[in-house]
Amino acid sequence: MTEVRRTRGRPRKTQQPDAKPLLVAVGLHAKVSQHLRDMILTGALAPGRELVEIDLSAMLGVSRTPVREALKLLAVEGLVELRPNRSARVPDLQPEAITQLFEAIAGIEGIAAELAAVRITDAELADLRALQDEMEGYHRATDLAPYFTINQRIHRLILGASRNKPLQEAHESLYGRAELVRRRALRTPERWDESVAEHRAIFHALEARDSARAGALLRDHVGRTGAVVLHHVAASRRSADAAHAGVR
């Protein structure tokens, strides 16, 4: 409490803002958004699932305010769809949207790889080599969750090595939506094996400073992943439609 001097009458005491609760609140909605992000990306909150604030508050043991703020953050990442006068939900991407999304990401990452082949530092190449080795170890152990984390770091390292901020910003604006469906492709053993081999070839192209080859390989890698994702989404929809028709 501090005193504020007045020209007349007695000094009035005012309450100074306490920064600590504010920091706690900011930290809380960041933690809530991370928890919800993980649940969405792992499929615990499936595509199409409605995200009712009061239910999420009860599940996470927090008030509705940090949940509401977390949903806004995730909406910016494309992981949550906010709907006027209705509950938010996890987006259920349509086949056409998936095709367009992976076309865009393939283009962005292809250009980034071309630039990275010229601009990547020796230290970044060493980091990329270590990540590739670590990722292959998780692949041999068939441990998908840490594999996927390292996979993401590799893609982001290549984007960073491009030294092109607009490319990185465009990539980040789309990446969340891609992650909603990308894991489906890696659940197929054949595609997982292919993906590891493709990553190894991309690394060797970057190591050789072969701009054209690095760009083509990464562009094809993302495009192939998108095609496999699209196949699985279409198959899932056919199964769901058949089950629904059977119930009738």
The residue among 41, 64, 89 that closes a domain is 89
In angstroms, the CA 28 to CA 151 distance is 28
pLDDT digits (tens, 9 = 90+) for 16-74: 444 444 334 558 888 999 999 989 888 889 888 999 999 999 999 999 999 999 999 99
Query: In terms of domains, do 112 and 209 share one?
Result: yes
Q: Is residue 6 part of a domain?
A: no
pLDDT tops 50 at residue 180: yes
Percent of the chain predicted with pLDDT > 90: 61
Classify residue 116: in a domain, yes or no: yes
**From CA 108, how far away is CA 23, in angstroms rounded?**
36
- Domain extent for 187: 95-247
Banded model confidence at residue 163, pLDDT cuts 50, 70, 90: very high
Q: How many CB atoms lie within 10 A of CB 50?
A: 12
Asked if 43 and 156 sit in the same domain, the reply is no
User: Which is nearest to 108 in space by CA: 23, 193, 172?
Assistant: 172
Give the pLDDT score at 161: 98
CATH of the domain at 213: 1.20.120.530
8-44: b (≥16 Cβ within 10 Å) or e: eeeeeeeeeeeeeeeeeeeebbeebbebbbebbbeee
Handedness of CA 120, 126, 132, 138 (dihedral sign): negative
- Examine the domain organization and report whether 20 and 72 are in the same domain: yes
Average pLDDT over every residue of 118-139: 98
How many domains are there within the chain? 2
Same domain, 79 and 174: no
Query: Chain-centre distance of CA 231, in angstroms?
Result: 21
Q: Taking 70 as the threshold, does the pLDDT of residue 194 lie above it?
A: yes
Nearest to 64 by CA among 73, 72, 56: 56
| Whether the Cβ atoms of residue 221 and residue 198 lie closer than 8 Å to each other | yes
**Same structural domain, 103 and 206:** yes
**pLDDT above 60: residue 1:** no
